[in-house]
Amino acid sequence: MLPGVVAQALATLYLITLLAVERQLLIIGLLGLAVIAVLGAYWLGWLDPVNRSFADREDVLGVLALVAACAVAAFFHDNHFLLLLIVTVVLYTVATLGLNIQFGYAGVLNFAGASFFGIGAYTSAVLNAHSAVPPLLVLLIGGLIAALVGSLLLLPVLRTRGHYAALVTIAFALLLKAFLEVNDVLGGPQGLQVKGMTIRGWAFNDNIELGNVELSFYMNYLVLSLALLAVAFILVRRLERSWIGLNLDALRLDETAASCFGLNIVRWKITAFTLGNFLIGIAGALFGMVGGFVAPNNYTFADSLILVSILLLGGVGSPWGSVVAAAIVIVVPEKLQTIQEYRFLLYAVMVIAVLLFRPEGLLPRPARNYFPGWRP
């Protein structure tokens, strides 16, 4: 278990430094350093013990990860922007976990991730503005609506396979954006403002006074998002480490064989697709409140691709991978502001490189381990 702890500690320290540094040269240097360090550790075989300790004592390390996140947050307790950035990473991770259930396990393609994210966000925009529904409930409703709208696609998604299924979701992503733009009911292209969250008079959009220290109001959202992430993570883990996870794998790998052993293809595909959209929707609903603004342009096909590339970069089916990849995909371009208009170019090249040289992702999914540390 020690290697895992050490790895986490190092990662945390590195993240803090990277976020703290502003000088572009230093940042570039740090990024290079990280690449070299990881490759080196890989070369020396130091990563295997880390993987093993994660396989055995995941529960403990998971808690530690939360602690680490809080440590980073505490370090930047009054830096609004960095906290917003971290919240973004956390919520994108949650969304990617949803995508992971759909594609990673059940093999159901979804190129409209951002759209379902957006549906969640719009839900919270509307509900916070026109109703007194308690915010936490709003999050759930956001998820439900996303799942509900998703179920409109069920028929085509169930009937199509592979690239044909891809087209269905792509078409949906384009359709939804176009619709939100031309239809003024939901604010049209201008979008809507989202009221911040208030739980029992605790306004999430006010800074927090602790004695003489002032914490950024984003701290509220960070705590909530981390809680959400923890729940989603555990859910996805249990899903994978149960007969359901097994069923999803089976139908992804060989539908015909699966059906010959009594597996109900339709039932499990629906379960995976709906559950995934539900998670994405919840994350979106919360992110809507964090950003305080929703507009069709936030949820384009391109944004869905970012979610998909997070999934692939991290390693399909590997939740820890999604966490790492989300951090990279969101933080790196943000820190590299000098390259301004060259950001996309660089980002695309990076993804291509990973796909070419490490197609199974940064942290490939290990064989299913029903109960970490369980020995017959």
Based on C-alpha coordinates, what's the Rg of the chain? 21
In the complex, minimum distance from the CB of residue 39 to other proteins, in angstroms, rounded to a whole number: 20
- Our CB check for other proteins shows the closer of 226 and 272 to be 272
In the complex, minimum distance from the CB of residue 71 to other proteins, in angstroms, rounded to a whole number: 20
- Our CB check for other proteins shows the closer of 8 and 220 to be 220
In angstroms, rounded to a whole number, what is the distance separating the alpha carbons of residues 40 and 346? 23
In the complex, minimum distance from the CB of residue 376 to other proteins, in angstroms, rounded to a whole number: 6
- Our CB check for other proteins shows the closer of 172 and 233 to be 172
In the complex, minimum distance from the CB of residue 145 to other proteins, in angstroms, rounded to a whole number: 19
In the complex, minimum distance from the CB of residue 85 to other proteins, in angstroms, rounded to a whole number: 8
In the complex, minimum distance from the CB of residue 6 to other proteins, in angstroms, rounded to a whole number: 26
In the complex, minimum distance from the CB of residue 10 to other proteins, in angstroms, rounded to a whole number: 27
- Our CB check for other proteins shows the closer of 119 and 312 to be 312
- Our CB check for other proteins shows the closer of 308 and 327 to be 308
In the complex, minimum distance from the CB of residue 242 to other proteins, in angstroms, rounded to a whole number: 4
In the complex, minimum distance from the CB of residue 129 to other proteins, in angstroms, rounded to a whole number: 14
- Our CB check for other proteins shows the closer of 7 and 249 to be 249
In angstroms, rounded to a whole number, what is the distance separating the alpha carbons of residues 196 and 211? 24
Nearest C-alpha neighbor of 206 from the set 195, 192, 193, 220: 220
Measured in degrees and rounded to the nearest 5, phi and psi for residue 192 equal -125, 155
- Our CB check for other proteins shows the closer of 17 and 190 to be 190
In angstroms, rounded to a whole number, what is the distance separating the alpha carbons of residues 286 and 326? 17
- Our CB check for other proteins shows the closer of 50 and 87 to be 87
- Our CB check for other proteins shows the closer of 40 and 373 to be 373
